[in-house]
Amino acid sequence: MELRGGNLCFLYLFSVFFIFSVFLAQSFKQDEEQVQRSQFPDGFFFGTSTSSYQVEGAYLEDGKGLSNWDFFTQIPGKIADDDNGEVADDHYNRYLEDIELMHSLGTNAYRFSVSWARILPDGMLGSVNPRGIIFYNKLIDNLLSKGIEPFVTIHHHDLPQVLEQRDGGWLSPVLREEFVHFTSICFESFGDRVKYWVTINEPNMMAKFAYLKGLYPPAHCSPPFGNCSTGNSDIEPLIGMHNMLIAHAMAVEMYRTFFWPKQNGFIGIVAHAFMYEPLRDEERDRDAVDRALAFNVAWTFDPVVYGDYPAEMRHCHGLELPRFSAKEKQLLRGSIDFIGVNHYSTLYVKDCIHSPCPSGGDRPIMGFLNTTGYRDGVPIGEPTGLDDFFLVPRGMEKIIDYVKQRYNNMPMFVTENGCTLQTQENELEDGDRINFHKSYLASLARAIRSGADVRGYFVWSVMDNFEWINGYTKRFGLYYVDRETLERTPKLSAGWFASFIRNNSHNDREEIRAASGHNKTIIFSQLEAKVAEM
């Protein structure tokens, strides 16, 4: 009897252990899932992303005017090491070499932005700088000659400083006219070859960083969000965003009326799109997750798809949330052909309606919620080199699914995904970056298998560059950029991405390292040859 009881107990424990191991193996398998190029549809774009201020440099060359970032970075204490983008990666002068790097990777798309101050140093009251136009023409032509599709973002954080001083930046409705003028010049000059346009990159992030936290120019904020010399964090982000969204809609209408009939391109907008999960397994935190998504992602996309702000926002803000006129709603509705998702990480969300929250989480502008990367001291995923950026691959599938459901599965691009490492001790041997991309791509492949209409994936970034307030202290590139010589050197991740794009399931680190010949700018045909031998 006793023996039988012992046996049963053993059997029970064994079964629990077995089920647990299977469960563990399953979850491990999900993270370790091998991802291959062949899991993505034909015609899928695999590209890299940059933006003008972050890579171009040449801040006063060939007639360029000063941008708000040229100006802002001169203020001591704003940027790590008081650095700036005066030289950045000198992409303005090295663009041919950089196109070679992209070609070596085997990418078929490059997402870059146009420096507004290079094209219109004085905004719409001045003339067009022809040498600015020539630069982007050369860039576009050379990309196309290598089979690389240009994806052009018209506005990615930097604007002529004169628009800040003369007009009041995005807080002023005048910026809508300024933006439309700028876009018309872009369409006119480049639209015969550019088929994919993004009007504005991350207006949601720009509005919050410029007018809520005061960390981006023009550095407006108020307590408890920060101590700026001017600003109103509760209201100004809403006004800045409102002007950007209307500017977007006006530009799209102009494109569709005057340029599309001849140029036949696609136009979209890109949002900063983290995923969120409830901090506590409770209804109130699950509701807060819905609000977090509405206040970030849907804040950008609802207006341009449905013509108005998300109901969740109206509910929290009431009258202080600006209203679109009937004409504006009509312009906004359906004003994109595709959705651009910049996805990096997932955070926990805590409700602040029913629980007390410090540091502004109890304000409408925050959606009555707080976000955190930690639950009981345990991070939501492996931390990376930036606060709030964790390795949470499942978030990719979830955010794509959210966008798919909310916007009826309209065409999507992952316009940015990437990471900076926790330590830069051996930045060239960036196995963690390879794991990051592999696991996020595997998650994206799952979303696509479930029917999501995703048409491209862009790595942020092709090379290390100026990471805004972090200056050059955070590196996101597949290529390492030496800050003294500006020499570009492929990291291990560059070799892996090239190998992945060529649909090579071979992921052995030694082989990739050998093939990528770390200390010189290599052409990945060496890698291809190795793959062919196998």
| Shortest Cβ 137–ligand NOJ spacing (Å) | 24
202: annotated active-site residue: yes
DSSP letters of 367-429? TSEEEESEETTEESSEE-SSTT-EE-THHHHHHHHHHHHHTTT--EEEEEE----S--TTTTS
Between 189 and 384, whose beta carbon lies closer to ligand NOJ?
Answer: 384
| Shortest Cβ 418–ligand NOJ spacing (Å) | 7
Strand partners, 369: 351
Between 317 and 491, whose beta carbon lies closer to ligand NOJ?
Answer: 491
Alpha carbon separation from 357 to 182, 187, 256, 360, 367 (Å, rounded): 42, 47, 46, 7, 12
68: its two tokens: 């708000």
* Catalytic residue of the set 164, 202, 397, 467: 202
Distance CA(366)–CA(317), nearest Å, equals 10
| Shortest Cβ 386–ligand NOJ spacing (Å) | 7
416: annotated active-site residue: yes
Give yes or no for a contact between 408 and 306, defined as CB atoms under 8 angstroms apart: no
Between 133 and 459, whose beta carbon lies closer to ligand NOJ?
Answer: 459
| Shortest Cβ 389–ligand NOJ spacing (Å) | 8
Q: Which residue is listed with tokens 């991802």? A: 35
75 class by beta-carbon count within 10 Å (0-12 exposed, 13-18 middle, 19+ buried): exposed
Strand partners, 155: 200
Contacts of 253 (CB under 8 A, 6+ apart): 331, 335
Between 98 and 467, whose beta carbon lies closer to ligand NOJ?
Answer: 467
Give yes or no for a contact between 479 and 490, defined as CB atoms under 8 angstroms apart: yes
| Shortest Cβ 345–ligand NOJ spacing (Å) | 10
- Cα 260 to chain centroid distance, Å, stands at 26
| Shortest Cβ 201–ligand NOJ spacing (Å) | 5
Residue ranges that bind ligand NOJ, judged by CB under 6 A: 51, 54, 201-202, 342, 416, 460, 467, 476
Between 259 and 390, whose beta carbon lies closer to ligand NOJ?
Answer: 390
* Catalytic residue of the set 56, 416, 427, 467: 416
| Shortest Cβ 241–ligand NOJ spacing (Å) | 16
Between 54 and 115, whose beta carbon lies closer to ligand NOJ?
Answer: 54
Between 368 and 476, whose beta carbon lies closer to ligand NOJ?
Answer: 476
DSSP letters of 33-75? ----GGGS-TT-EEEEE--HHHH---TTGGGPPPBHHHHHTTS
CB atoms within 10 A of CB 82: 12
Distance CA(495)–CA(151), nearest Å, equals 23
Q: Among residues 154, 172, 169, 212, which one has the least CA distance to residue 72?
A: 169
Q: Which residue is listed with tokens 């202290």? A: 473
Show which residues are catalytic: 202, 416
